[in-house]
Amino acid sequence: MGVNKEVLLIDYGMGNLFSIKKVVERLGYVCLISKNPNSIRNARRIILPGVGHFGKAMTNLKEGGLVEPLQEAALIRGIPILGICLGMQLMTNNSEEGDARGLGWFNADVVRFNTQDKKIYKVPHIGWNSVSMNKPSLLMAGIEKDAEFYFVHSYYCRCKDENDILNTTDYESVFTSAIERQNIFGVQYHPEKSHGNGEKLIENFIKL
């Protein structure tokens, strides 16, 4: 296994790190967990996980000195980066959760679900749901149309550029459940909890 197939999992105090690490290693790849900015500068594949509060997450990234090397990796070096759940949301301009600014890689805002039928469409949105594929993507190679993934979230991304939308999901209304532009990918669902479909997505990412 060459260095190109190593994956850096960023530890900024907000992520479900070990379940992702287990999947990467089960697939036969090396997964490094680090909060060192220099690790980002040397990485060839980066996963930005996240569970919790958007504002707190951005504070942790800034205080850890991680924002600048992340910007360099994503926008200058063109390193493949996958954001999962909150990690995807951090790639946007800003969020209602904490009224905080994000990394700004996608022209999108993060907003809270405001469902009408709260008996059926509870918030947070928890459980399995299908995703529609809005455009061809190597990230989704070999994954069937309308495949199901596991979700746990109260906020979602509202994209302003339709070309960035990779997946959509219907939860009373249709929302963006994955985004992609060039080397940057974000999924609102949890591939590490989504069995075969999730493992295939993670493997596709590592092989980019």
Inter-residue contact 155 to 138 (CB < 8 Å) = no
* 190 part of the active site: yes
Q: Which of 97, 125, 180, 190 is catalytic?
A: 190
Does residue 85 have an active-site annotation?
yes
Q: What is the DSSP string of the chain?
A: --GGG-EEEE-SSS--HHHHHHHHHHTT--EEEE--HHHHHH-SSEEE---S-HHHHHHHHHHTT-HHHHHIIIIIS---EEEETHHHHTTSSEETTTTEE---SSSEEEEE---S-TTTS-SSEEEEEE-EE-S--GGGTTPPTT-EEEEEESEEEEES-GGGEEEEEEESEEEEEEEEETTEEEESS-GGGSHHHHHHHHHHHHT-
The catalytic position among 31, 153, 159, 192 is: 192
Catalytically annotated residue among 85, 97, 153, 180: 85
Residue 110 near residue 92, CB atoms below 8 Å: yes
Q: Say how far apart CA 28 and CA 25 lie, in whole Å.
A: 5
- Rounded CA gap, 39 and 32, in Å? 9
Tell me which residues are annotated as active site: 85, 190, 192
